[in-house]
């Protein structure tokens, strides 16, 4: 009897700590991504407002939904550690601007499209989970879009978007670290280049 009681207590403690470690609420993460995409489609892509209003709304949604500081740190790879505080700030802001500009120009491509959510997959990284979705295309097979979501307390942020297995974070990291490696001015050159691209876009 005593043994059983001990086992029960042990089990409950163990289970409690297991759930505490998991720390990411997959169902809520999926709900979060659904909310973000719904807002994007209804309030921006399909909304009957001018492009400048759309841009404004998108910038707000983008800043609320994505953790650009976190992504930016990953994207710079080992160069993050050697960058000065000023460079870090400037890089994050240049990266943010370019992304917002790029995505804003793609609204029309997304007209009439919709996300169908397909549940979640656990991640090896702490407090993160993958939310799976597909986008039916006019032609051929549907496109696979996976959202990597990070939970901090009750707060959810998207930290990567994986389209047909291509992670935006990995692609940017490969590209930017390769660039810095050969650029004479290092990170400063990269920041300037990103700013120029934003202006031209």
Residues that bind other proteins (CB under 8 A): 69-70, 73-74, 80, 85, 88-89, 92, 98, 102, 106, 109, 121, 123-128, 130, 138-141, 146, 148, 159-160, 162, 164-167, 169-171, 173-176, 178-179, 190, 193-194, 197, 200-201
Cα distance from N-terminal residue to C-terminal residue, the chain = 73
| In the complex, minimum distance from the CB of residue 31 to other proteins, in angstroms, rounded to a whole number | 21
**Cβ pair 29, 149 in contact under 8 A:** yes
Q: Which is nearer to other proteins, 43 or 168 (CB)?
A: 168
| In the complex, minimum distance from the CB of residue 11 to other proteins, in angstroms, rounded to a whole number | 29
Q: Which is nearer to other proteins, 53 or 143 (CB)?
A: 143
| In the complex, minimum distance from the CB of residue 178 to other proteins, in angstroms, rounded to a whole number | 4
**Cβ pair 25, 127 in contact under 8 A:** no
Q: Which is nearer to other proteins, 43 or 70 (CB)?
A: 70
In degrees, rounded to 5, the angle at the alpha carbon of residue 141 between the alpha carbons of residues 139 and 144 is 120
Taking the C-alpha atoms of residue 99 and residue 109, their distance in angstroms, rounded to an integer, is 16
| In the complex, minimum distance from the CB of residue 177 to other proteins, in angstroms, rounded to a whole number | 9
| In the complex, minimum distance from the CB of residue 171 to other proteins, in angstroms, rounded to a whole number | 5
Positive or negative CA dihedral for 99, 105, 109, 114?
positive
Tokens for 163? 């389209």
**Cβ pair 32, 156 in contact under 8 A:** yes
Q: Which is nearer to other proteins, 2 or 106 (CB)?
A: 106
Taking the C-alpha atoms of residue 142 and residue 140, their distance in angstroms, rounded to an integer, is 7
Q: Which is nearer to other proteins, 109 or 154 (CB)?
A: 109
């Amino acid at each position: 009897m005593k043994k059983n009681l001990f086992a029960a207590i042990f089990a409950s403690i163990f289970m409690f700590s297991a759930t505490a470690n998991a720390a990411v609420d997959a169902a809520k993460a999926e709900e979060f991504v659904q909310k973000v995409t719904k807002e994007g489609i209804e309030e921006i892509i399909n909304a009957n407002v001018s492009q400048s209003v759309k841009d404004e709304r998108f910038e707000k949604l983008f800043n609320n939904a994505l953790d650009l500081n976190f992504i930016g740190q990953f994207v710079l790879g080992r160069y993050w550690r050697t960058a000065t505080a000023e460079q870090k700030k400037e890089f994050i802001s240049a990266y943010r601007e370019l992304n917002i500009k790029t995505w804003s120009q793609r609204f029309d491509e997304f007209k009439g499209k919709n996300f169908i959510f397909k549940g979640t997959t656990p991640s090896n990284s702490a407090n993160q989970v993958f939310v799976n979705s597909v986008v039916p295309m006019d032609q051929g097979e549907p496109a696979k879009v996976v959202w990597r979501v990070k939970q901090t307390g009750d707060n959810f942020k998207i930290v990567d978007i994986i389209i047909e297995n291509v992670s935006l974070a990995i692609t940017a990291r490969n590209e930017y670290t390769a660039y810095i490696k050969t650029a004479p001015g290092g990170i400063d050159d990269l920041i300037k280049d990103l700013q120029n691209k934003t202006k031209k876009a």
